[in-house]
Amino acid sequence: QKINDICKYFKLPTDACLTAHLIFSTIHISKPLLDDRHDLKHVMLSCVYLASKVDDGHTNLQDFCQKIPGTEKRVVEELEFVLLDWLDFDILFDSPLLPLIAFIIDIYSDGSERVSVYTTAVQTIIAMYMTDIPLLHNPTIIALSALKSTADKRKCILFDTYLTNLQARDPTLNINV
């Protein structure tokens, strides 16, 4: 939740928030932070800072660190490179937001519900990114899952109809509504 709070505080784009969660969970799973060389707070802050740079929401490191009490600029700066090394400098992450937009445009052709559906689905995606879901499923599946959840909350059958029609067009798809 802290990653969400920090991203909101710095008004970072949603993609940066998702990337920060993905970096943090990838690091946390692949490089368990069992030693005391890097405290978890600074690792998390470094994930957010790195994500802001990856997703063009870059903020000045000095400003970033000054606005968060007890944050050492030198540590965040050093951890940025440690994170990059731990990620093998692979910082290209696919986002579920573009597939989400494409599905919404395709499903909600009249346009009247698009913004509210998008807003609700994005909140679901952010919640998913706070778990290990993005490490297990591709972004398109995550976008579809968020739309399914949103459709269920809104008691809207458009999504189920869309999936049924999609299955009819391509029987090789294994979609269970």
Structure tokens at 91: 């910082």
pLDDT of residue 32: 63
Structure tokens at 96: 């579920």
The answer to whether the beta carbons of residues 121 and 146 sit under 8 Å apart is yes
Q: Which strand (E) or helix (H) includes residue 44?
A: helix 40-54
In whole angstroms, what is the distance from residue 141 CA to residue 88 CA?
25
pLDDT of residue 26: 86
pLDDT of residue 124: 96
96 HSE (CA, 13 A, CB side):
27
pLDDT of residue 119: 92
pTM: 0.80
pLDDT of residue 171: 76
Q: In this structure, which amino acid lies at residue 75?
A: V
Q: Which of 128, 165, 162 is nearest to 14 (CA)?
A: 128
pLDDT of residue 122: 95
Mean pLDDT by 10 residues, the chain (177 residues): 89 90 85 66 89 78 85 89 86 89 86 86 95 91 93 87 83 67
pLDDT of residue 33: 58
